[in-house]
Amino acid sequence: MSVTSVRVARWGAVLCFAASFGGATARAQAPATLRIGGDVPRPLELSERDLRAMSHVSVRATDHGKAPAVYEGVPLVALLERAGVTFGAQLRGPRLATYVVVDAVDGYRVTFAVAELDSAFSGKQVLVVDRKDGAPLSAEEGPLRLVVPDEKRPARWARQVVGVRVLSAPPPQERP
Ligand SMILES: Nc1nc2c(c(=O)[nH]1)N[C@H]1C(S)=C(S)[C@@H](COP(=O)(O)O)O[C@H]1N2
Ligand SMILES: [Mo]
């Protein structure tokens, strides 16, 4: 191999590596299904169609630095109810130590206390959105994204949401 072809081969390898590396992150596509699990009476896997068939709420909200958009989504609370989680008068005692983890495809995850989502406790809205300005979300943002319209930072607006888990904060450890 000549010096030139070695150089070309090296650069080729570098470029291939860069392309596959860049591609791997850009192409991390979230599946169009949503798993609801953890400590729920009925674990579920909902398809895009299942979600489309559920009642949607429409909100106008602003992702930082971007123009306001109209997002349509299913309240997280409705998804939890579908998995058998109860709210209102039944949300008391040890269940006040339960929380929801929303998982994204890149490992990003955000939490909400179950009580924080209950309309008997607060007016907070947390939506699993599948439409933005009337169209499906882009692959980088969706197909599903969390939108929490009242928050000052969109840090809990998890993109590419793949799952929802209900967990319980453990009691404090016994002192030895
Ligand atoms: N899956 C995933 N969602 C995410 C993040 C992330 O790293 N991964 N970053 C969050 C943070 S910190 C912010 S500020 C917003 C940024 O949203 P944008 O990319 O639409 O501007 O997304 C949130 N959602
Ligand atoms: Mo952020």
Residues having CB within 6 Å of any atom of ligand 1? 63, 104, 106, 108, 154-155, 157-160
| Bridge pairing between strands 57-61 and 127-132 | unpaired
For residue 37, give the nearest of 154, 163, 127 by alpha carbon.
163
Tens of pLDDT, residues 115-140: 999 999 999 999 999 999 999 999 99
Look over the chain and give the mean of its residue pLDDT values, rounded to a whole number.
88
Q: Indicate which ligand has the atom closest to the C-alpha of 64.
A: 1
Strand-pair partners of 163: 35, 103
Q: What is the mean pLDDT of residues 3-29?
A: 45
**Structure token digits, residue 167:** 């967990």
Which of 22-26, 54-58, 168-172 shows the lowest per-residue confidence on average (mean pLDDT)? 22-26
Q: What is the mean pLDDT of residues 49-71?
A: 95
Tell me what percent of the chain is helix, strand and coil, each rounded to the nearest 5: 30, 30, 40
Q: What is the mean pLDDT of residues 47-74?
A: 95
Tallying the residues shown for the chain, one arrives at 176
Query: What is the CA(136)–ligand 2 centre distance, in A?
Result: 23
Give the amino acid at 35: R
Q: What is the mean pLDDT of residues 161-175?
A: 94
Q: What is the mean pLDDT of residues 62-69?
A: 90
Q: What is the mean pLDDT of residues 144-171?
A: 97
> Does the pLDDT of residue 10 top 50, yes or no?
no
> Does the pLDDT of residue 114 top 90, yes or no?
yes
CB contact burial 4-40 (16+ within 10 A = b; e otherwise): eeeeeeeeeeeeeeeeeeeeeeeeeebebbbbbebeb
pLDDT at position 122 is 95
pLDDT at position 39 is 98
How many Å apart are CA 164 and CA 81, to the nearest integer?
Answer: 12
Mutation probe of ligand 1 site: the residue of 66, 137, 157, 162 with most atoms within 8 A of C-beta: 157
